[in-house]
């Protein structure tokens, strides 16, 4: 009796596990900002089809490279970096980079302009001298 329940539980876990997704780590690097008043950088992420929420950076710090964790491998993500100064003023977005899901979706016309509206082309501009030069997702 117990072995039947264990077998049923094992089968259920095998069926559910792929739907849970596995968390990915993402490492990004960008050109440093050369402003004298630079206090740091903020990294923002969004899922495909969503807008950036600039109230909540995914990461912030003073280095021009970071690794962020916990991204669903079955989702596609976009990333931008913004520099900020000692007074809290934040630059515009860096170029936008894309991390495809393991399903290999095409980014097509799904980028957003800095104000969050759809652009149909590559994101980008500004960034206070930041240019994301490297992206790797595991």
The mean pLDDT value for 12-21 works out to 48
> b/e string for 20-34 if b means 16 or more Cβ within 10 A?
eeeebebebbbeebe
> In which domain, by residue range, is 59 found?
22-137
Look at residue 15 and tell me if it is in a domain: no
Look at residue 80 and tell me if it is in a domain: yes
Per-residue pLDDT band at 136 (split at 50, 70, 90): confident
Q: Determine the Cα–Cα distance for residues 68 and 80; give it in Å rounded to an integer.
A: 13
Look at residue 87 and tell me if it is in a domain: yes
Q: What is the pLDDT of residues 96-106, one digit of tens each?
A: 999 998 887 66
Instruction: Give me the pLDDT at residue 93, please.
Output: 95
Q: Angle 25-135-38 (CA atoms, 0-180°, nearest 5)?
A: 100
Q: What is the pLDDT of residues 18-58, one digit of tens each?
A: 445 578 899 999 999 988 899 999 999 999 899 999 999 99
Mean pLDDT of the chain: 76
Instruction: Give me the pLDDT at residue 133, please.
Output: 77
Instruction: Give me the pLDDT at residue 112, please.
Output: 47
pLDDT for residue 119 is more than 70: no
Percent of the chain topping pLDDT 90: 49
Look at residue 14 and tell me if it is in a domain: no
Instruction: Give me the pLDDT at residue 118, please.
Output: 33
Look at residue 4 and tell me if it is in a domain: no
- Smallest CA-to-CA distance from 130 within 65, 81, 67, 87 is with 81
Find the CATH number of the domain harbouring 115.
2.60.40.10
Look at residue 8 and tell me if it is in a domain: no
Look at residue 72 and tell me if it is in a domain: yes
pLDDT for residue 8 is more than 60: no
How many domains does the chain contain in total?
Answer: 1
Look at residue 2 and tell me if it is in a domain: no
Instruction: Give me the pLDDT at residue 5, please.
Output: 54
């Amino acid at each position: 009796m117990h072995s039947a329940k264990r077998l049923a539980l094992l089968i259920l876990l095998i069926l559910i596990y792929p739907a849970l997704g596995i968390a990915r780590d993402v490492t990004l690097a960008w050109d440093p900002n050369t402003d004298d008043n630079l206090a740091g950088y903020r990294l923002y992420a969004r899922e495909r089809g969503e807008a950036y929420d600039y109230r909540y950076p995914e990461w912030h710090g003073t280095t021009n490279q970071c690794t962020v964790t916990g991204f669903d491998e079955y989702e596609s993500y976009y990333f931008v970096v913004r520099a900020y100064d000692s007074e809290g003023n934040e630059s515009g977005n860096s170029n936008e980079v894309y991390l495809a899901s393991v399903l290999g979706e095409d980014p097509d016309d799904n980028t957003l302009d800095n104000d969050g509206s759809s652009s149909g082309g590559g994101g980008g501009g500004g960034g206070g001298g930041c240019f994301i030069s490297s992206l790797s997702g595991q």
